[in-house]
Amino acid sequence: MNIDAIDVHGCWDSDEFQFFATQSAGRSGGLLSIWDANIFEVREVIKSNHFLITIGDWEGIPRDTIVANVYGPHDPVEKKRLWEELLHWKKERPGTWVLFGDFNTVRRRDERINSQFCPSSAFYFNRFISEAGLHDIRMGGSRYTYFCQTNIKLSKLDKFLVCSNFINAFPSTSVTALPRELSDHSPIMLQTSSPDFGKTPFRLFNSWLDREGFEAVVKKAWGEFKGYGAPDMYMMAKLKYLKNGIKIWRATDQPKEVIELQ
């Protein structure tokens, strides 16, 4: 990766940013970290062939924030050496740790499909996570983050690992694997807060989906509704109309359900 040839500004939606990058070695490696200069003030950078660590003050976090951008090697011996090195820095630099990237290994056998699972690599990776006191946040959106067209190989290689300090500061943290486009890897996104869409429009039980007449009621209410106004108000009125249709249906279906259970 030629750093000078990268259009970093094209990756950011404003001029308020800073970045640091490392050169690639052949076809492997090459890391780029970009951050909002108004939120994250970096004081120190630690780099190697397989990680890029930025240390500084993150707005809203009382202690040092250490962000590690990781690219795991393919060789099992080098992977073990990488975990040892990261564990060393984790102990040397106390604070709020966030590690992310392509770790090039999986934790369990079910995180691979049509590709070889290496028990020893998984063992050392899991041991590193445990000894470093890190948490592997459950990922939504997609179960796998890497797709290889040859033999349809799927693997969960990309993830976020965070320390307890981060979890305590942001208890609603979530991770989502976004759809792939140009890359064979899915972008992964960490969010520190849950979106609040307000009060649930109405209660819906999964068992209703199997009840006779439910699908017809939903289609009828959704199709015959006529409304006006701003999109959000229109949708609210449409959901209310649907709710009333389901209430009328439940008034006649619930007695049937009681009889069936007797």
Tell me the backbone φ, ψ of residue 74, rounded to 5 degrees.
-85, -35
Q: Does 212 lie in the same domain as 187?
A: no
Q: What is the pLDDT of residue 3?
A: 62
- C-beta separation of 166 from 68 below 8 A: no
Q: Strand pairing partners for 71?
A: 102
Q: Which letter does DSSP use for residue 185 in this model?
A: B
Residue written as token pair 């969010």: 191
In angstroms, the CA 39 to CA 250 distance is 52
Per-residue pLDDT of the chain (262 residues; tens, 9 = 90+): 556 657 777 778 778 899 988 877 666 668 999 999 899 999 999 999 899 999 999 988 888 999 999 999 999 999 999 999 999 999 999 999 999 999 999 999 999 999 889 999 999 999 999 999 999 998 988 889 999 877 788 999 999 999 999 999 998 899 999 988 878 899 999 998 766 666 766 777 877 888 888 999 999 999 999 888 888 888 889 998 999 999 898 888 777 765 555 5
Structural domain including 122 reads 3-191
Q: 168, 191, 214 — which closes off a domain?
A: 191
Residue 197 is assigned to a structural domain of this protein = no
Q: Same structural domain for residues 140 and 107?
A: yes
Claim to verify: residue 69 and residue 129 sit in the same structural domain? yes
Quick one: pLDDT at residue 212? 86
The predicted pLDDT at position 126 comes to 96
Which helix H or strand E contains 237, and what residues bound it? helix 231-261
Element (H, E) at 228: none
**SS3 state of residue 42:** strand
From 191, 226, 244, the end of a domain falls on 191
116-140 per-residue burial string, b: 16 or more CB within 10 A, e: under 16: eebeebbebbbebbeebebeebebe
Q: What is the pLDDT of residue 69?
A: 97
Q: How many domains does the chain have?
A: 2
Check whether residue 105 and residue 57 sit in a common domain: yes
What pTM value is reported for the model?
0.72
Is residue 90 domain-resident? yes
For residue 37, which amino acid is it? A
